[in-house]
Amino acid sequence: MERYRDRPMDFADATLVHAGSKLRLADILTIDHNDFETDRMTGRRRFRILPRR
């Protein structure tokens, strides 16, 4: 958290990260690539962002 303090996470993004971790889902449909390229799930797993850039 300290490393990315300049990139605050809003409630909606935090909810998606938490749900993805709990449900073990790595795919996310968003146009918000910048935030979700930084965000990680439990175990440092990255999201697979759809559609791709």
Nearest partner of 40 among 53, 28, 51, judged by Cα? 28
pLDDT digits (tens, 9 = 90+) for 11-48: 888 888 888 889 989 998 888 888 888 888 777 888 89
User: Per-residue pLDDT for 3 more than 80?
Assistant: no
Q: Tell me the torsion sign for CA atoms 7, 30, 16, 48.
A: negative
Range of the domain at 36: 11-50
In a domain, 1, yes or no: no
Quick check: bond before 51 cis, omega within 30? yes
pLDDT level of residue 4 (50, 70, 90 thresholds): low
Number of domains in the chain: 1
In a domain, 40, yes or no: yes
Q: Is 27 helix (H, G, I), strand (E, B) or coil?
A: strand
Q: What's the pLDDT at 49?
A: 92
Residue 53 tokens read as 């850039």
In a domain, 43, yes or no: yes
Q: What's the pLDDT at 8?
A: 80
pLDDT level of residue 9 (50, 70, 90 thresholds): confident
In a domain, 5, yes or no: no
